[in-house]
Amino acid sequence: MKFIVFSFVCILSLPVLGDQWLAGDLHVHSVHSGGDSYVRELSLHAQKIGLNFYAVTDHDNKMKGAPLAWSEIREQDVDGVSVLYGMEWTSGDKWTNSIGHLNIWSDRPFLYEKFWKSNLLRDLHLLEEARREAGVLLSVNHPRAVGFSWELDYPQHFDAMEIWNGPFSLSRSNLAYRDWKERLQNDEHVLAVGGSDIHKIKRDSHTRMGHPTTWVRGKSHSSSHVMQALSEGRVVLTADPYILPPDLSLYDAHSEQLLGQIGDQLYTHGLFYLRLKLPKNAYSGVAFKELLLYRNGKLLKKLKVDEKRIFAVKDRVEQREKVSYFLELRGENKGALWGDSDILAITNPIYINF
């Protein structure tokens, strides 16, 4: 009897049958750009800490535009871990002449020449052309980190914004999270991602792989499924790989039918309820304290976390009104790298009428 009840709960907790939350790190450096490890070592480390995927994003200027790690990515065969082909478009060689950094991700090797030329010429039109031709995803890295911030306008063709970066973490005056919320207030549709920006895994440093972790909901951990989930916005950020993603879903208030989940874009109006679900407490030393529900980048509801794991909040959306909802989880994390940050997780939004 116990077994039957257990299976029932499991099935209910699956977002979409066949989809699963996969843990990853979208910002990792290898020996080719100041790191201390080759791809195979990075993959073994990722496997050890429970990551399903990561992206090698070496500084292109350290390699004069040649993607030196990609042959290693092609050959890596560490069980259960897939590696995205990435590069960090890195302007300037000192922070004094930097206009910013961008991450580029793909599930396959692509021609980098044009990206490199766009970097040397600081030509964003050429960058956009290269992005379109290669079919890659482009993310603005640590956009508000002093010295390494993004200094130009945010062109619309950027696919994502790294609002949570390892060294420029949420607690160390990274204004990117606030910037992202302001964009949501202006009805912008921007994918929020995280990345550890790890360089050294062999000794203790101020960064750790998977801190933060970017979770994607996909069919499998294959690179193509990870890329698909990223482009569909099925993404949640947590402080580390041991905190599982909280869940947010939208239901019709009358029929109680499930209408949307994180990343979905819906065209609808009426009375809804949002279901907020806490993850299981992954390890001791983590305590959940508050769930914050945001509507268009502004706080809609703050809920104290007690014994309950599921909460419901009612809200109305008018006809053609653009509304985005996302969730933030706060609490205590004794294992946190950044002792003063109480943010444990941030989800991407559900978008309505965008």
Please report, as ranges, the residues that interact with Zn ion according to CB under 5 A.
88, 101, 141, 197
Task: Give the shortest CB-316-to-Zn ion separation in angstroms.
Answer: 42
Task: Give the shortest CB-93-to-Zn ion separation in angstroms.
Answer: 12
Residue number, 101 or 114, with CB nearest to Zn ion: 101
Task: Give the shortest CB-59-to-Zn ion separation in angstroms.
Answer: 7
Q: What is the largest CA-CA distance in the chain?
A: 67
Owner of token pair 């949501």: 184
Residue number, 47 or 98, with CB nearest to Zn ion: 98
Residue number, 141 or 169, with CB nearest to Zn ion: 141
Helix, strand or coil, per DSSP, at residue 95: helix
Task: Give the shortest CB-86-to-Zn ion separation in angstroms.
Answer: 10
Residue number, 32 or 101, with CB nearest to Zn ion: 101
Burial degree of 307 (CB within 10 A; 0-12, 13-18, 19+): exposed
Helix, strand or coil, per DSSP, at residue 188: coil
The helix (run of H) or strand (run of E) holding residue 275 is strand 270-277
Q: Which residues contact 178 (CB under 8 A, 6 or more apart)?
A: none
Q: Which residue is nearest to Zn ion (CB)?
A: 101
Distance CA 5, CA 60 (A): 53
Task: Give the shortest CB-98-to-Zn ion separation in angstroms.
Answer: 9
Residue number, 198 or 317, with CB nearest to Zn ion: 198
Q: What's the 3-state SS for 282-322?
A: CCCCEEEEEEEEEECCEEEEEEECCCCCEEEEEEEECCCCC
